[in-house]
Structure 1
């Protein structure tokens, strides 16, 4: 072996032993908010390091801000805690449990639709506990007053405003002078864009002679063509029920609004038995005339064979049709005449009965 090479290896081994046998401390144990500027990765035994909070942070329970590298290669205990400075939130933005925000927080502001922002849309919490910019103001969009349609006028919802502008959200109705009708938007408002709803076109409109309805008559109307928004009234013949509005109106399409219908009465189609009608029990022979109006209900009585009690079942008159429940069994003439108290309507009612 080359004696020069052996000597070199021994020197390197001695150097390694002298370095590694000596304990050192690593990088100081810093936490968020501590100033790390100038700190090294390795410190010798007995070396003291003084730590401090960086700008924007405040020391909390700072019994000592210094730590020492001990013989065991560990740092002594540090009681320094750095807490971020807080910036107070603007009062309109404060919420329960949230009245301030920490250092470096960014507040972004927006305005509701129909409002424009005056001021900065962003603010940052600075190191001294203040916001970089005050909160902005949100000002309602305003629109120029709308133009009335030709042959028409504008009726504002709020009749007390003044000036040559109107605020976002305020609205109105476009009206046409008879016999013209609005084709387009009848309602207008100041939009978030600062524009107003386009007015309609006022066009002459008429509707045909009012139509007749079955079992009904027109009241207080001349049989002629009528103009926009003119109305006619209907009523039904006796015992018929009007279903729908009694009044129809000529619309801007030149058509009438929906016609009402006269609904027919019903007949109770049993010859023997008792029913519950108009809040009382009556024998069918005493229902004079035998007529139930549309929409009214009649209760029939069925026999519950298992419980041996009477069970009421309702049926409603719908435009001339009154269905008799399938469970209803019409008694024979002898039973009806000689044993009426044995009928389902006369015996004890089942527990679900609500008519007694």
Structure 2
């Protein structure tokens, strides 16, 4: 008698638990054509794992010669299915997308077209893939576009507003800077900056605003001897600063200035003296290059993709307020401009090829393409050849193009 009351009380207290157990629906046995599964039942409980395999000339719709599927509230985690062994599974394309098959797999001879995400382009200009005997031929990849910019340059004392963090910015992207409190933007006409052909346009700077009595001034950088930082001396009364010019002599301002009495040490050596980079103000701009290391005493540059670096990697600040020699980023690519090139190939937009790279450009017929090579900024290409046995030596070289590469890029 007592146990009945206890059971009644439990039912009253825990109706939700009983409802949750009964709510989980069972799964019906799958209709598996061309295969078999174990164990064979009419229905399967929630969380039951079913194992299945396929007969000859078939394979499971997932990787492996056998597969498992789990019953999840009346539905199988993937529908057990046996497909033609020559069919293909959906490929994984990083930074790209395509139209997925409604039944989860692709029959032999199926062709898919890959669309790259913004900021990416097809490597070797290959955009399609074909299912052949269970595998994809020439599966396209999406790589960073030459017209895409990396992160915008860091401006001291500023932040980027109205834009979340991104690693890549498509061409024509715009970003806005805003100076922190106590700083004023110099070169506001350069805000926002724009991504053009893989390079950011010139950016603004933020200068500190100081108040002296009823007068407000803006410190434009921190040049040695300017009173704004690294090169100033805490003299009282009239300020007199002596600076080594790096040319074998020194300059002074104000009466009574003694050689070597303050500021940066003077020297008779013709070599300039290195000082912290903050004392040279705005960083130098290297077209098609970015700063990859910011040290107290130097900046390290590297060139964007499709460019090669000439000159020093490190740039330092001298005690006369000047920067050392900056590197140059030279073109290291070729451009095929729109037009007719060979029978079956007519381009409608610029095609960029890295120096030393062998690229394939699709022709107007399926499975045909042209092999293109960029050497010393000179393009050599072949006639249209079949893609699946495409080799440089098998296709006749039909044309060499000498193009003014630099003039074809929008700066």
**Which TM-score bucket, shorter chain as reference?**
under 0.3
TM-score scaled by length of structure 1: 0.28
TM-score scaled by length of structure 2: 0.25
Larger Rg: 1
Q: When you count strand as a share of all residues, which structure comes out higher?
A: 2
